[in-house]
Amino acid sequence: MGELAHAYFYLLEWSSTVTDIREQYPLLPLAETLAIAKSLGIEHPVFGRAKRPVVLVTDYLLTVRRNNAVVQNARTLATAASLDDTRELELLEIERRYWEACGVDWGIVTQHEIPLDFANNADFLHYHMLHDLSSFLAEDCLNTLPALVALLTCLVQQETDQPLNHLTSLCDAQLSYAPGTSLTAAYHLLATRKFRIDMQVPINPHKPLHLLAVALN
């Protein structure tokens, strides 16, 4: 389940419609899930010898922009195999009814709904998304940053059969950068969506980078 949660988080983070992500959101007040369990004739989870009721949680509560409105979605992760387990289905039904009463869209996400290549790309670009490009470059490179972006963009668009790392090496050589500088810049342009690609295709510096669009401004 850890790998599933990891992959799903990066999909959510990449999404342009998800504006807030809250993980392990508690279903409170506890009295509400207790009442739902009782109405269904389901044993509510408890812990310890005293059998104290456990506060149930939903894996993700999301704030989402949709059709010029802001709504909340609740999402629970589960493996497809676990949906054959009677007890798992009972607990999911408590969760479903809780969010139904709140008027919040709730759903189950299994591994079949998570495109792994997309998630792996988003995971790979995560670090480059968090920082400005200037934080990756040596100070003496900053003055030539526009030239780097222009040259790199031109090469990637024109030399479509050349591996990305070959093109970035050409940039480094032409602009007298340290090896790897232009490749880092390329990753940042991808992370900030100035270079737009099919995220279902794994990013591989040893292969050509096929751009769908460029949005530098």
CATH of the domain at 183: 1.10.10
In this predicted structure, what is the pLDDT of residue 50?
87
Gyration radius from the chain CA atoms: 23
Do 106 and 125 sit in the same domain of this protein?
A: no
Same domain membership, residue 145 and residue 101: no
Tell me what pLDDT residue 144 has.
Answer: 78
Last residue of a domain, one of 80, 113, 146: 113
Domain count, the chain: 2
Q: What range defines the domain where residue 207 resides?
A: 116-214
Residue 145 confidence (pLDDT): 82
Residues 167, 183 share a domain: yes
- Tell me the H-state helices in the chain: 2-14, 30-40, 86-102, 116-129, 145-158, 164-175, 181-191
Q: pLDDT of the chain along its 217 residues, tens only? A: 688 999 999 999 999 999 999 999 999 999 999 999 999 999 999 999 889 999 999 999 999 998 889 999 999 999 999 999 999 999 999 999 999 999 999 999 999 999 999 999 999 999 888 777 776 666 767 677 889 999 999 999 999 999 999 999 999 999 988 899 899 999 999 999 999 999 999 999 999 999 999 998 7
Got the DSSP string for 88-137? HHHHHHHHHHHHHHHT-EEEEE-GGGS-HHHHHHHHHHHHHHSS-GGGTS
- Measured on CA atoms in the order 151, 154, 157, 158, is the torsion positive or negative? negative
Residues 6+ apart with CB under 8 A from 191: 125, 126, 128, 129
Q: Are residues 106 and 9 part of one domain?
A: yes
pLDDT at 67: 86
Residues 149, 189 within the same domain: yes
How far apart (Å, rounded) are the C-alpha atoms in residues 185 and 204? Answer: 15
Residue 105 dihedral angles phi and psi, to the nearest 5° = -65, 125
Q: Which residues pair with 21 in a beta bridge?
A: 62
Q: Same structural domain for residues 102 and 55? A: yes
The domain boundary residue, chosen from 113, 135, 163: 113
In a shared domain, residues 145 and 190: yes
91, 113, 135 - which closes a domain: 113
